Amino acid sequence: MHLSEEIGSRLQEERKRCGLTQLQIAEALGIAKRTQANWESGTSDATASYLSRCAREFGFDVPYILTGVRTTLAVDSLNQVENLLVMQYRSITPGDQEAIRRFLKAMADDAVRHRT
């Protein structure tokens, strides 16, 4: 696999992780669906401005797309267990991520109720 294909594959992975279709991201960013498909297949390379917008608007992990190495929230801001949890969270489906967010919110709400 060539570098453009690897980058395209990770771009597709990030799009799916965020629960977006090619059409949804194309419409949101004002590009053709075919352009999105070409970038994901590695037929052509995504632009820096496109990747920057994806990071800003959708939370794409651009360093991961370009290098294959996931980033954390901030350098040294997470301990080893927290970093592992973030990595595991990022590896599951968007539906499972939503279930975890609902569960954590319920736990946090319960903790607040018990403090008062």
Q: Say what the pTM is.
A: 0.61
- Per DSSP, the chain holds a count of helices (H) and strands (E) of 7, 0
Half-sphere exposure of 94 (CA within 13 A, CB side): 10
Give me the domain span that covers residue 33.
3-67
Q: Are residues 56 and 84 in the same domain?
A: no
Q: Are residues 41 and 86 in the same domain?
A: no
Instruction: Give dist(CA 29, CA 53) in Å, integer.
Output: 8
Name the 3-class secondary structure at 76.
coil
Contact call for residues 68 and 1 (beta carbons, < 8 A): no
Contact call for residues 39 and 8 (beta carbons, < 8 A): yes
Q: Are residues 58 and 87 in the same domain?
A: no
Q: Domain count for the chain, please give it.
A: 2
Query: Which one is predicted more confidently, 74 or 3?
Result: 3
**41 lies in some domain:** yes
Q: Tell me: the pLDDT tens digits for 24-43?
A: 999 999 999 999 999 999 99
Contact call for residues 72 and 83 (beta carbons, < 8 A): yes
Q: Tell me: the pLDDT tens digits for 86-102?
A: 878 888 888 998 999 99
**74 lies in some domain:** no
Which CATH number does the domain housing residue 59 bear? 1.10.260.40
